[in-house]
Structure 1
Amino acid sequence: MKKIYSFSHAPCPAEYLRAALRSHVYEVAQITPLQIMNKLSERLENTILVKREDRQPVHSFKLRGAYAMISSLNETQKSSGVITASAGNHAQGVAFSATRLGITSLIVMPINTADIKIDAVRDFGGKPLLCGANFDEAKIKAMYLADKHQLTFIPPFDHPTVIAGQGTLAMELLQQDAHLDRIFVPVGGGGLAAGVSVLIKHLMPQIKVIGVESAESASLCAALSAGMPVWLHKVGVFAEGVAVRCVGNETFRLCQEYLDDVITVDNDAICAAIKDLFEDVRAIAEPSGALALAGMKKYIQRYAIRGERLAHVLSGANINFHELRYISERCELGEQREALMAITIPEKKGSFLEFYKILGNRSVTEFNYRFNGSKNVCIFIGIRLKHGRSERNTIVQEILANGFHVVDLSDDEMAKLHVRYMVGARLFQPLQERIFSFEFPEAPGALLKFLHTLGANWNISLFHYRNHGTDYGRVLAGFELSNQKESEFKEYLSKLGYEWHDVTTNPVFEVFLN
């Protein structure tokens, strides 16, 4: 057999099928269950099936591609060792695979990688090396070391042998259920989507394969729009397993030809999918692991799909435990089971009771306000929903009809991330103030750097920071700032080197904090 780990040509579907059939992945990988989600099936009026790749020894499908590639190396390459760059599941797949084959592995990881992932690489026999602020910087270092020490670089997705290894999952799906109507797969660099789609379309082309991307890292959508892989200026890291700035060349070629559709979802929808997986099959998915389910739910709603057999891939379960706090707070919003609103009511006895009567039997999940001596007060309220967005709109109309002013904040990121924890912190005297949001790597010293750079030179009038257990921290800060000093202040922001946005005109700031 001619091995396909060379880029000398673009393998055809038949070559990918032969490579998948002859892959050695089952020396280490498990045939994972295809499990029905009974509660969700009843709710969505379709048969919903989940492919449990969280059951792999490294709790992720990445083991398939990593082992396929490493096991295909020649003896000289194996004796020299392998190297890769990854902050997550690929790192663990490479470390596990190399150790099983008696090969040394060096894993270059960004310096802000969570300890749980570093420890996992070490436990699987790999040698972690922390370098760079992000994946791209870590990859540059890994490529340099590969060349310097004659190590073989194991790519996370953009390689035919890796793609064929991921494609073994498609063969399992067909063996487990040949009557599927659609398969939903998460997309980061595109390795899994490419491997699954090329094999499914070669064997059973009537089955639709849909890729699902995070709206914060939709590199495949950007590539499809441009007609070629393009680099995103920035990617979000909540679903870090798919936080890839540019889809691969070979993965793009395959996804462009064989994927039937691509859909994007936001973080709240991902959080809701994580909750669905836990409630139905007691799986605790990482955000990227629940991505395909989030996309499936959105696709079902968008196209009114009923009575079909739909499978999605739970691609990983390597989650930072502290991230669950953020997920639990956001899942209700993602499922459209909660509305957040700002209501202005008179500051007098009985006003809250009068307003509450409008809600009828609806449950209030959150209620925040602070007396400030004015004639009117604005309250921040959460309301439990049974009928999603339509019920939200009904509530708004009912409140307006009863003479109260209302602002729906359910889709306002600033309200959900910061202000819900800060209600009541209003000014009692005029102040020239501007409000900025910041994002910086969640690494030791990052917050201290922020305070040293700005806090010693400018009066901070408002500050909110909450650690959600993710790789990036977010700060909302206000500064006493005259118009004359604004340009000088923004020069300081440039020196700081963090992502920032002026959010002074955000309506939620005007309502609660100004």
Structure 2
Amino acid sequence: MQKLLKLILTSRVYEAAAETPLEEAAGLSRTLDNRVLLKREDLQPIFSFKLRGAYNKIAHLTEEERARGVIAASAGNHAQGVAFSARKLGIRSVIVMPLTTPQIKVGAVEGYGAEVILHGDNYSEAADHCQQMVETTGMTFIHPFDDDLVIAGQGTVADELLRQSAGQMDAVFVPVGGGGLAAGVAGYLKALCPEIRVVGVEPADSDAMARSLAAGRRIRLDSVGIFADGVAVREVGHLTFDLCRRYLDEIIRVDTDELCSAIRSIYQDTRSIVEPAGALGVAGLKKYVRERKVSGRTLVAVNSGANMNFERLRYVAERTLIGEKQEALFAVTIPENPGSLRRFCSDVLGDRNITEFNYRLAGRERAHIFVGISIRNTGERHAFGQLLGEHGFDNIDLTDNELAKTHVRYMVGGRSPEAGHEVLYRFWFPERSGALVRFLGSMGENWNISLFHYRSQGGDYGRVLIGLEIPPKEEDGFREFLDRLGYRFVEESGNPVYRLFL
């Protein structure tokens, strides 16, 4: 504890980083009946808190280490932090980035004077190549989170929070990836104001810290989510795990829809657009208030970054209403006869606001409708499902069905009578040229594609839905193909929304 405090208080971050403001979010405060404050790390020179840790580490290098240069593996904010810091100090920097990295991020890093090397389809492959270069070049590796000086640099956020709030905070919500920011903030606050609750926030599909804390040891995830790519870490650090285990009060997990809702909430209060990882603090804060029913408290969320790809805004907007519990999606079955659709609309939908309505003739006995409605809360969503049942309409609540939200709502069109022995899979492809060709080339001409859906969402990975005709005797061979392919996938053949609409 004493070592960490000393490193934080003697850090050199302000040679490059700014002391960011702590601002009241009037809209969130009013909506949540609590005083909500936002720590605006999205206003740093590189639009992310990562500058603090990177600069503090590089500024403490010896002259000999500086002469050899610095190197890092990153596809995001850490890369920009290292590049910016190295330029500030007149040091050569090399950043190894995956081939899937969007050009906007590559250009930003190169704009700070770093040499960019593109290698591999993901961070792990880039990191392995980076380590090989460390061994052959002697350059100093700048770790994104598991380093005392990096943690101390991030911990200066907590020092500012205490000064800016005069210690008048009930809880602080901190995004968690590798754990550097959470470790620094929690360690500092618990040393000086142990009564302040420090809550880490992770995406539900990238929850390495939560699982590690529950197990009492570091857990390595088999895969991580791709939406909040700034915190998509398979394994947290040795140092960060130890500090978070001692000083974090709890971890809250949030899903993609809740993150989209948080991005919108921040925009409404600040007119700034944070990246998904940057909105974790607000997403966790909103969930905390909703589930704990707290009011009249002073709650702080760290807006950790704003390096958002513009192309992703469409996806965020589409998912926001669900994240705010203001939209519900249902599959509804009605009789396929004259007047049934009119009766469904007049007797059940009534004056409700319709956000989506998809229908296509699929048979002569029953019709399946994909419908979205505006709601005010979860209770209204459940009440609508009950109302459907009372009117004799079979229905399935699809609001939490990822297949429905990501693909099916855009491709409702009925079954193909020609498709036989069809199986359905969702794949995550590296978003770069040749990914689909590689998939098709690996598969050869063994199996016929019977369904395909892809829609750009502006991320490092694309989401693809594929239907394939796989005869029973070839199922083992297909499984072997999937194992060799190396792409992340989920089988959806048993998903009810597939059976109803596709």
Superposed displacement of residue 58, structure 1:
0.3
What whole-Å deviation, never above 9, does each CA across 1:219-269 have from its counterpart, x for those lacking one? 111211221212111111210110011111111111000111111111111
Partner of 2:21: 33
1:8-54 Cα distance to aligned partner (Å, 9 max, x none): xxxxx222222212211111111111111111111111111111111
Give 2:442's aligned residue: 453
Instruction: Give the Å deviation of 1:429.
Output: 5.4
Counting aligned pairs with the same residue, the percent is 51
| Displacement over 3 Å in runs of 4+ | none
Counterpart code for 2:365:
K
- Residue-pair matches, total: 500
Give the aligned residue type for 1:312.
A
Q: Which runs of 5+ in 2 are unaligned?
A: none
Shift of 1:373: 4.6
Match of residue 16, structure 1, among 4, 21, 38: 4
1:65-214 → structure 2 map (5 Å cutoff):
65-177=53-165, 178-214=167-203
Residues 271-319 of structure 1 deviation map (CA, whole Å, 9 limit, x = unaligned): 1101111111111010000011111111111111111000000100111
Q: Who is 2:290 aligned against? A: 301
Question: Normalised by the size of structure 2, how large is the TM-score?
Answer: 0.97
Contact 2:419 2:450 in 1 (8 A): no
CA deviation digits over 1:305-362, x for unaligned, max 9? Answer: 1110000001001111111111111111111110000111122333233212323332
Q: Which sits farther off after the overlay, 435-444 or 165-174?
A: 435-444
Letter in 2 for 1:361: D
Q: Which amino acid is 2:20 matched to?
A: T
Aligned amino acid, residue 373 of structure 2:
I
- Quick one: distance in 2 between partners of 1:190 and 1:158? 8
Partner of 1:63: 51
The residue type paired with residue 448 of structure 2 is: N
Q: 1:139 to 1:372 in 2, by over 3 A?
A: closer
> 1:370 corresponds to which residue?
360
Distance in 2 (alpha carbons) for counterparts of 1:42 and 1:116: 36
Q: Indicate the residue corresponding to 2:263 in structure 1.
A: 274
Of stretches 17-26 and 67-76 in structure 1, the one that deviates more from structure 2 is 17-26
SS at 1:185 equivalent: strand
Q: Helix, strand or coil: the match of 2:134?
A: helix
Change (3 A) 1:344 1:132: same
Structure 1: distance between partners of 2:342 and 2:21: 52
Given residue 299 of structure 2, which amino acid in structure 1 is its aligned partner? Answer: L
Q: Residue type matched to 1:238 in 2?
A: F
Residue 335 of structure 1 corresponds to which residue in structure 2?
Answer: 324
Identify the range of structure 1 (274-283 vs 139-148) with the bigger mean alpha-carbon deviation.
139-148
User: What letter is aligned with 2:458?
Assistant: G
Instruction: Work out the CA distance in 2 between the residues paired with 1:152 and 1:395.
Output: 59
> For 1:250 and 1:303, how far apart are their aligned partners in 2?
31
Aligned partner of 2:466 among 458, 477, 482:
477
Give the drift of 1:495. Answer: 3.2
Give the CA deviation at 1:133: 2.0
2:375 matched to 1:385? yes
- CA distance in 1: counterparts of 2:26 and 2:424, whole angstroms: 47
Distance 1:237 1:229 in 2: 21
The two structures, once aligned, show a CA RMSD in angstroms of: 1.3
The amino acid across from 2:397 in the alignment is D
- Gap regions ≥5 residues in structure 1: 1-12
Say yes or no: does 1:288 pair with 2:287: no
- Counterpart in the other structure of 1:4: none
Shift of 1:430: 6.8
Alpha carbons of 1:510 and 1:455: their partners in 2 closer, same or farther (altered >3 Å)? Answer: farther
Partner secondary structure for residue 162 of structure 2:
helix
Structure 1-normalised TM-score?
0.95
- Between the aligned partners of 2:473 and 2:168, the Cα distance in structure 1 is 68
SS in 1 for 2:465: strand
Q: How many Å apart are 1:464 and its aligned residue?
A: 1.1
Q: What residue is the counterpart of 1:496 in the other structure?
A: 485
